[in-house]
């Protein structure tokens, strides 16, 4: 079963080809090309990091760090990987370095910032399509908050696996590359992450 939802990166062959051209120019020192690459990918990187650490301002800084590191590492970028996947790999390292620096005990922690009011704004881009009844939109917004809270209670490894698979739409092999592990480990992490999420969201999904 392919990725469900708003992203279907497998269909981005054209984008990947354009990325490859931009990467080639950026490697020659063309910062205009790199600027375009940043613009094309900053949204995904920022969303991924924000979903990982639940801190908007830190996510903003760390996302920039990803692109700075990516620029430095461009000579080592191998075209066999998608630029997007490669960026996620760098983002993975940046987030884990940051986590180590901050000495965050992620398990069981929940940052209140994820409940910022604007994140459950029914008018936000992540809400269901227009035409939805207000009460239904509100319910979806509440569900989103609960899901984010549940994700925040997972270990960083489990959370990252779920986000890369279900939100970013990466294939298992790509997730394994990003996380620097095997496909088997990815499957295992997804399995246990889903078990935990089911427990945490029991009331949301049991009676559907």
Q: Report the C-alpha gap between 38 and 22 in whole angstroms.
A: 10
* Minimum CB distance to other proteins, residue 162 (Å): 7
Residue closer to other proteins by CB (options 57, 108) is 57
Which C-beta is closer to other proteins: that of 48 or that of 106? 48
For residues 89, 51, 48, 58, the Cα torsion angle rounded to the nearest 10 degrees is -80
Which of residues 20, 24, 27, 42 is near other proteins by CB under 8 A? 42
CB of 169 to other proteins, least distance (A): 7
| Contacting residues for 4 by C-beta, under 8 A, at least 6 apart | 166
Q: Which is nearer to other proteins, 144 or 153 (CB)?
A: 144
The answer to whether residue 1 forms part of the interface with other proteins (CB under 8 A) is: yes
Please tell me the distance from the alpha carbon of residue 154 to that of residue 138, in angstroms, as a whole number.
25
Under rule CB under 8 A, residue 83 binds other proteins: no
Say how far apart CA 84 and CA 75 lie, in whole Å.
16
Q: For the segment 138-167, give every residue that binds other proteins (CB under 8 A).
A: 140, 143-144, 147-148, 162-163, 166-167
Q: How far apart are CA 39 and CA 83, in angstroms?
A: 13
- What lies within 8 Å, CB to CB, of 91 at 6+ separation is 45, 48, 49, 62, 63, 66
Instruction: Tell me the C-alpha distance between 202 and 208, whole Å.
Output: 11
Q: Is 56 in the site for other proteins (CB under 8 A)?
A: yes
Binding other proteins by CB under 8 A: which of 64, 93, 99, 181? 64
Specify the 3-state DSSP secondary structure of 111: coil
Interface positions with other proteins (CB under 8 A):
1, 3-7, 28-32, 34-35, 38-39, 42-44, 46-47, 50-51, 56, 59-60, 63-64, 67-68, 71-72, 125-126, 128, 140, 143-144, 147-148, 162-163, 166-169, 172, 184, 187-188, 190-191, 194, 197-198, 201, 205-206, 208
């Amino acid at each position: 079963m392919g990725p469900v939802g708003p992203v279907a990166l497998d269909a981005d062959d054209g984008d990947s080809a354009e990325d490859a051209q931009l990467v080639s120019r950026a490697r020659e020192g063309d910062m205009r090309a790199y600027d375009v690459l940043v613009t094309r990918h900053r949204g995904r990187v920022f969303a991924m990091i924000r979903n990982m650490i639940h801190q908007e301002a830190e996510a903003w800084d760390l996302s920039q760090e990803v692109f700075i590191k990516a620029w430095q590492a461009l000579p080592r970028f191998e075209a066999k990987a998608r630029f997007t996947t490669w960026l996620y790999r760098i983002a993975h390292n940046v987030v884990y370095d940051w986590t180590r620096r901050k000495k965050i005990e992620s398990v069981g922690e929940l940052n209140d910032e994820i409940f910022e009011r604007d994140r459950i704004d029914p008018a936000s881009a992540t809400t269901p399509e227009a035409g939805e009844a207000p009460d239904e939109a509100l319910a979806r917004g509440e569900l989103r908050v609960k899901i984010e809270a549940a994700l925040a209670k997972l270990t960083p490894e489990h959370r990252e696996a779920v986000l890369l698979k279900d939100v970013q739409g990466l294939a298992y092999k790509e997730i394994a590359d990003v996380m620097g592990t095997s496909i088997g480990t990815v499957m295992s992490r997804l399995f246990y992450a889903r078990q935990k999420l089911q427990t945490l969201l029991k009331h949301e999904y049991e009676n559907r």
